Structure formats: structure tokens, C-alpha cells
Amino acid sequence: MASARVVSTCLFVALLTCTLRCSQCVKLSNIILILTDDQDVEMGGMFTVTPLCCPSRSSILTGKYPHNHLVRNNSISGNCSSTTWQKEAEPFAFPVYLNKLRYQTFYGGKYLNQYGSKDAGGVGHVPPGWDQWHALVGNSKYYNYTLSANGKEEKHGDNYEKDYLTDLLNRSLHFLEERSPSHPFFMMLCPPSPHSPWTAAPHYQQTFSDVKAPRNGSFNMPGKGKHWLLRQPANPMPNSSVEYLDNAYRRRWQTLLSVDDMVEQLIKKLDSIKELSNTYIFYTSDHGYHTGQFSLPIDKRQLYEFDIRIPLLVRGPGIKPKLTLQSPVLNIDLSMTILDIAGVNLSTVNMDGQSFLPQMAPSLRNGTERPFFLVEYTGEGHSSEDPSCPKLGPGLAECFPDCVCEDAFNNTYACVRTLKDANLQYCEFADNESFVEVYNLTSDPHQLENIVKKVDPALLQIMNQRLIKLESCTGDSCRNFMSCRYLLNPDFLLFYHAMKVDGFAFGARKKVVQVLMSKYLHKCNIWYELSL
Ligand SMILES: *[C@@H]1O[C@H](CO)[C@@H](O)[C@H](O)[C@H]1NC(C)=O
Ligand SMILES: *[C@@H]1O[C@H](CO)[C@@H](O)[C@H](O)[C@H]1NC(C)=O
Ligand SMILES: *[C@@H]1O[C@H](CO)[C@@H](O)[C@H](O)[C@H]1NC(C)=O
Ligand SMILES: *[C@@H]1O[C@H](CO)[C@@H](O)[C@H](O)[C@H]1NC(C)=O
Ligand SMILES: *[C@@H]1O[C@H](CO)[C@@H](O)[C@H](O)[C@H]1NC(C)=O
Ligand SMILES: *[C@@H]1O[C@H](CO)[C@@H](O)[C@H](O)[C@H]1NC(C)=O
Ligand SMILES: *[C@@H]1O[C@H](CO)[C@@H](O)[C@H](O)[C@H]1NC(C)=O
Ligand SMILES: *[C@@H]1O[C@H](CO)[C@@H](O)[C@H](O)[C@H]1NC(C)=O
Ligand SMILES: *[C@@H]1O[C@H](CO)[C@@H](O)[C@H](O)[C@H]1NC(C)=O
Ligand SMILES: *[C@@H]1O[C@H](CO)[C@@H](O)[C@H](O)[C@H]1NC(C)=O
Ligand SMILES: *[C@@H]1O[C@H](CO)[C@@H](O)[C@H](O)[C@H]1NC(C)=O
Ligand SMILES: [Ca+2]
């Protein structure tokens, strides 16, 4: 997306003084995490372990896969900012550790989709770990929103000069001026851009007037050979869908121009307070986005590259300018990487991710890469039918424009992904076809052909066993696959294709898992046999 251009000017400026934790060092490095909302990147970047706002943001904060933080969707009933989350997960989010190390902390912008709602404790709930808290109530908005300003309700209208949310995050600059220079700081800046309703600043509303969504890759291709939901959209898309998505694409770029301005002001401020060379800056997004791929007009929530790949740009002490990492980096790794920078002993932290500081700054740390990883998603649906698309029936969601549904209860899946030696993706659906999709991204980077019927069944079995391990991993066993710590909990294992391979009847999920548990749990080596 546009802002690669944007941010690169600022973030890739050379820097180089290694000040990190040398023996006599005065003070730890500062850290800034910029998190945009719904910004895609088709190539490069890193991966989200789940392509939806609240589950992904919860993964960033806790360093955990969704099956361990248990935030399933954007509703309170799915644990999005629920009181259980506030009690059981939020107190272990990474900013709490930083704050204990006397980092001065600042939060600004969108938090979790249900944050501030009455059932989630209202604006009075300020999560632990934050000295300055300026969080948006609810989902992304540019105007007419409410903030929790350190626990107090602050209402905003729609006057550009006073209220435009991306610009208002300049409160962080004041925080930088007021901070105590004798301790490091951590800031998390979360603009609403480029999320809908795509409201650009007035002076950017005419920019990119001739920009359209790219027509290459899987744009306007049929979802042939894919799971049920992808076989529904009309192909080719009606012109009304194409107009809608081009407009969205253009306006998304426009909203990112204000993020550019924000980054520029921030860099200038860091420079003027002489902290730029001792500050790590991470720029990323919560998940990707699609505009027209596989004839889906606009949204996220799919297993394909356009929804799970997200931007990642980092600068900071010890990182060579313009270095590109080849290793798989996930959004659950951000917390561990940040805690690593802050010098926390990572074996005392219960998270599923791993630090990528060794890959970014080999002069500072040694470390190994993970061989494969998990992407998991619980589909959202409505139990009644959408009144504007009455023919479709219940169980579906996000049916616009033109009654193309982008989600369903049975759009529930888990994928295992390998990257370096073999660039493969293997996904199982919890739908009543027990659907499987397999892609060879080396020969087919746009995931046009599902090769499940062509590929060697032995490979399917290996991928399936990896998936079962990942789906039941926790902490160290998400990184170290020789570990025995797998929780074969039938409630977490939605995916029973494996058991089909093992000769069990399909459908009796709980029973199958119980059999497997009694048979294998005491000698967990069974899972290694095929997982080379
Ligand atoms: C919400 O979290 C609680 C505990 O953290 C868990 O018991 C519950 O099952 C979760 N809900 C869902 C829908 O996963
Ligand atoms: C903000 O709310 C006011 C009052 O309800 C409304 O008139 C205005 O159109 C809204 N502005 C935006 C940008 O939604
Ligand atoms: C910060 O942004 C707000 C809202 O756009 C604006 O009113 C204010 O003048 C800005 N402050 C500074 C110091 O730039
Ligand atoms: C489509 O083309 C653009 C412009 O040439 C390029 O930047 C982009 O990577 C391509 N996208 C895909 C999915 O191939
Ligand atoms: C849709 O757009 C194409 C290309 O712009 C045009 O050739 C075609 O006539 C349009 N179809 C309708 C039904 O408007
Ligand atoms: C880190 O913590 C682990 C577990 O408590 C401990 O065994 C280890 O010695 C610690 N490492 C350092 C360098 O303090
Ligand atoms: C990494 O490991 C090598 C070999 O064991 C060692 O020489 C080097 O000092 C280590 N580097 C760091 C940054 O720990
Ligand atoms: C969110 O998850 C909860 C718990 O699984 C479920 O009851 C609810 O229907 C889900 N919400 C949507 C919109 O799918
Ligand atoms: C998925 O759910 C929809 C809506 O409930 C249903 O019509 C469809 O048959 C289901 N498909 C599969 C493969 O489960
Ligand atoms: C698949 O599930 C849908 C509801 O989710 C149901 O209507 C349909 O009959 C099911 N099909 C089969 C083959 O079980
Ligand atoms: C994937 O494609 C590459 C390049 O065509 C090929 O070398 C490799 O064998 C393929 N892998 C599988 C598992 O089909
Ligand atoms: Ca989002």
C-alpha cells in the first residue's frame, strides 16, 4: 500500500549508534510501536496469526495465538475486551513488563473493538501498564468519537482542526516533552487509518484521484476449487462492486497521508529531543485487506496472503539500514522482541512468540528461526438472515456491497505455513465439508490453484500433524517442536481431518480426540514421526 513509500522516507534513515545494553550503558532504548488499522501489503512484510482486528490486537498485546488468549472475534461474547480478558490476559500484556522496568508509557488511538463499552467497564477501565492513556472507545472512527483520556470521557465532534483522530495522536509529542529524560519511554500509536469509513483529512480528499485497485494477481478471479464461501461471489464482479472497491482503495490511501504526517512529526520531535538514535520504531498493522481479489469486493478474514501479510518496518540501534529479513516473523513476536530490547529474561515470560531481534541485529543477539507457524480464525456470522439480502439465509456476515458475504460461522479455519525451504500453506476448515486448501506459493504466489488433490498424501499428513501440534501448543511448545507440552483439548482442536487420516469417522470430533489422548498423550513422540 501507499504507505510503504510514506514511511520508508522516515524510517529507513541511517542510524547506527549501538547503544543497546552495553555493559556501562546509561539507559535502555526507547521503543515506539505504530499500529495502523487494516493496512495490507501483498509481498514482503510479516504475518498476522489471525486476520481480524480484535483477535489480532489481542495477539500483539499478549504475544499469544488466539487459542491461548481466547479472543475469538470482535464481540464481548467472543472475549474482545471482556471482563474475563481484563482479569486474565490484560495484566500479562507486554506493556505491563515495560512499566515495571520504569519505562514511561503512552497509548494513543484505537485499542480493542469493544474497549470502553458499558459491558467492558466503560471509559473508566484503564488497562495496567499505561501512564498516559488516550484510547478510542469502540471501533475506528475519524470524527464524532469518544476517548478515554486517562479514564475520563472525552467527546469529539467533526471539526478537522480540533478533532481528526490521526492528527490528535500528536498528544504523544507533548508526552515526549514532558517525560523524564532519566528513564526510557514506550509509546503505542494506533491511528484509525486506513480502516473504514475512510475519511481523509480535507486537504487530502482530492489526492490519488486516478488511483484504482491493482488488476493483477487474483483480482476478479473466480474462487474455483476453494472453500464454500469463496465459491459464492459472482464472477466477474458487477461494475457496482468494482466502483465501490476502487473508491475504497483510493480513500484508504488518502487516509494514510495523515499517518505519514504523524510519522514525520514524530521523527522530527525525536531528533529535536536527541532520542532518535536510541529509539526503536516498529511500524505495522493488525491484519491485511483485500479489494477485488477472488471477486471479494472489500474486507479481511481470509486465509490468503492479502489478508494475513502485513507491513513491518523497523529502525533502531544495531539494525542495518535497508536490511530485509527472510525469516518468518509474526505479530505474536512483537511483544517478545520489544521485551528482548528492554532486557527482560524471556524465559520468565509466558508467550507463544519469539524475539526477532537476533535476525534484525545479529551483532546484539543470537537466535534461531521457527520452522513453521499457525494462522487460525473463528468465522463470525449472524444467526438471523441479513434483511438486505434475504435470499442468503442465516449464518453469514459482511454481505456488502452487492450481497457478497465475506464471512460465515463456517469460515473457521486453521493453517500451517512453512516459508523458507518450502513455501507452502496447508489449511483445514471446520465446515461440513471438512475442506482442505493447499498452496505452493513458490510456483503459485497468488494462490490460484488449490493443489490438495495433486500433492503427495504423505505431505498432507505431515502438514496435518504439524497443524495439530500448533493448534495445541502453548509457550515454549509453539517455538520448540521437540517439546512435549501439547494440550490436546477437544475444545481447542476444531480440526479433525487428521483423525480421518488415522482411520476415524469424520464428525465425532470430541470422541476422536478423547481416543487420541488416551492412546498417544503418554508417549507424545508419536507426533514427531512425520514432522521432519
Ligand atoms: C473467554 O475467555 C475465558 C477465559 O479466559 C474462557 O474460559 C472462555 O472460554 C473464552 N470464551 C471463548 C468464546 O473462547
Ligand atoms: C458528526 O455528528 C453530527 C451530529 O450528529 C453530524 O451532523 C455530522 O454529520 C457528523 N459528522 C461526521 C463526519 O460523521
Ligand atoms: C495537534 O492536533 C490537534 C488536532 O488536529 C491540533 O488542534 C493541534 O494544534 C495539534 N498540536 C500541535 C502541537 O501540533
Ligand atoms: C501488481 O502490480 C503492481 C504494480 O506493478 C505491483 O506493485 C504489485 O506487486 C502487483 N501485485 C501483485 C499481487 O502481483
Ligand atoms: C461495466 O464496465 C465495463 C468496463 O468499464 C463496460 O464495458 C460495461 O459496459 C459495464 N457494464 C455495465 C452493465 O454497465
Ligand atoms: C532466566 O530465567 C530462567 C528461568 O527463571 C533462569 O533459569 C535463567 O538463569 C535466567 N537467565 C538469566 C540470564 O538470568
Ligand atoms: C553468537 O554466537 C557466537 C558463537 O557461539 C559467539 O561467538 C557470539 O559472541 C554470539 N553473539 C552474540 C551477540 O551473543
Ligand atoms: C463471537 O464469539 C462468540 C463465542 O464463540 C459467539 O457466541 C458469537 O456468536 C460470536 N459473534 C459473532 C458475530 O460471530
Ligand atoms: C456454511 O454455512 C452456510 C450458512 O449457514 C451454509 O449454507 C453452508 O452450507 C455451509 N457450508 C459448509 C461447507 O459448511
Ligand atoms: C452444512 O451446514 C449447513 C448449515 O451450516 C446445512 O444447512 C447443510 O445441510 C449442511 N450440509 C451437509 C452436507 O451436511
Ligand atoms: C512447489 O513449486 C516449486 C517450483 O515450481 C517446486 O520446485 C516444488 O517441488 C513444489 N512443491 C510442492 C510440494 O509441490
Ligand atoms: Ca483492523
> In this predicted model, what pLDDT tens digit does every residue of 218-253 receive, in sequence order?
999 999 999 999 999 999 999 999 999 999 999 999
Position 495 scores a pLDDT of 47
Q: Please indicate whether residue 167, judged by its CB atom, sits closer than 6 Å to ligand 3.
A: yes
**Among 10, 18, 25, 53, the one annotated catalytic:** 53
Set of cell numbers at residue 25: 550503558
Query: Taking a C-beta distance cutoff of 8 angstroms, is the pair 187, 175 a contact?
Result: yes
Query: Taking a C-beta distance cutoff of 8 angstroms, is the pair 144, 150 a contact?
Result: no
Q: Please indicate whether residue 345, judged by its CB atom, sits closer than 6 Å to ligand 6.
A: yes
Ligand 6: centre distance to CA 345 (Å): 6
Query: Taking a C-beta distance cutoff of 8 angstroms, is the pair 456, 422 a contact?
Result: no
Q: Which DSSP string corresponds to 168-204?
A: HTTHHHHHHHHS-TTS-EEEEEE--TTSTT----GGG
Query: Taking a C-beta distance cutoff of 8 angstroms, is the pair 224, 144 a contact?
Result: no
Nearest residue to 172 via CA among 57, 286, 56, 34? 34
Closest ligand 7 atom to 363 CA: 13
Ligand 8: centre distance to CA 51 (Å): 16
Q: Please indicate whether residue 78, judged by its CB atom, sits closer than 6 Å to ligand 8.
A: yes
Report domain extents, the chain. 3-369, 472-532
Q: Please indicate whether residue 83, judged by its CB atom, sits closer than 6 Å to ligand 1.
A: no
Q: Please report the beta strands in 431-513, taking only residues with DSSP state E, as ranges in sequence order.
A: 436-440
**What's this model's pTM, rounded to 2 decimal places?**
0.91
Ligand 2: centre distance to CA 487 (Å): 50
Using DSSP bridges, classify how beta strands 396-399 and 405-408 pair: parallel, antiparallel or unpaired.
Answer: antiparallel
Position 496 scores a pLDDT of 44
Instruction: List pocket residues of ligand 2, CB cut-off 6 Å.
Output: 143-144, 158
Give the max Cα distance, the chain.
70
Pick the residue whose CA is nearest to atom 10 on ligand 7: 366
Pick the residue whose CA is nearest to atom 6 on ligand 9: 395
Q: Cell numbers 481466547 correspond to what residue?
A: 70
Superfamily of domain 3-369: Alkaline Phosphatase, subunit A (3.40.720.10)
Position 71 scores a pLDDT of 97
Q: Please indicate whether residue 66, judged by its CB atom, sits closer than 6 Å to ligand 1.
A: no
Instruction: List pocket residues of ligand 4, CB cut-off 6 Å.
Output: 42-43, 214, 216-217
Position 488 scores a pLDDT of 52
Pick the ligand that lies closest to the CA of residue 385.
Answer: 9
The count of other CB atoms within 10 Å of the CB of residue 215 is 9
Position 458 scores a pLDDT of 82
Ligand 12: centre distance to CA 73 (Å): 12
Closest ligand 11 atom to 456 CA: 13
Task: Report d(CA 439, CA 446) in Å as an integer.
Answer: 9
80 a catalytic residue: no
Position 487 scores a pLDDT of 52
Q: Cell numbers 509466558 correspond to what residue?
A: 350
Task: Report d(CA 114, CA 427) in Å as an integer.
Answer: 29
Task: Report d(CA 272, CA 276) in Å as an integer.
Answer: 8
Asked whether the bond before 233 is cis by omega within 30 degrees of 0, the reply is: no
Ligand 5: centre distance to CA 291 (Å): 18
Q: Is the dihedral of CA 219, 35, 355, 25 positive or negative?
A: positive
| Cα angle value 269/254/7 (rounded, 5°) | 40
Nearest residue to 370 via CA among 332, 323, 324? 332
Q: Please indicate whether residue 129, judged by its CB atom, sits closer than 6 Å to ligand 8.
A: no
Pick the residue whose CA is nearest to atom 8 on ligand 10: 432
Pick the ligand that lies closest to the CA of residue 60.
Answer: 12
Residues of the chain with pLDDT below 70 are 1-26, 482-532
Ligand 3: centre distance to CA 143 (Å): 15
Ligand 4: centre distance to CA 8 (Å): 18
Task: Report d(CA 444, CA 455) in Å as an integer.
Answer: 14
Pick the residue whose CA is nearest to atom 3 on ligand 8: 78
Ligand 3 pocket, mutate which of 170, 175, 176, 193 (most atoms under 8 A from CB): 170
Pick the ligand that lies closest to the CA of residue 40.
Answer: 12
Work out the end-to-end distance of the chain between its first and last CA atoms, rounded to an integer number of angstroms: 36
Position 498 scores a pLDDT of 46
Task: Report d(CA 486, CA 474) in Å as an integer.
Answer: 7
Ligand 8 pocket, mutate which of 58, 79, 380 (most atoms under 8 A from CB): 380
Pick the ligand that lies closest to the CA of residue 71.
Answer: 1
Inter-helix orientation angle 239-272/3-11, to 10°: 10
> In this predicted model, what pLDDT tens digit does every residue of 328-350 receive, in sequence order?
999 999 999 999 999 999 999 99
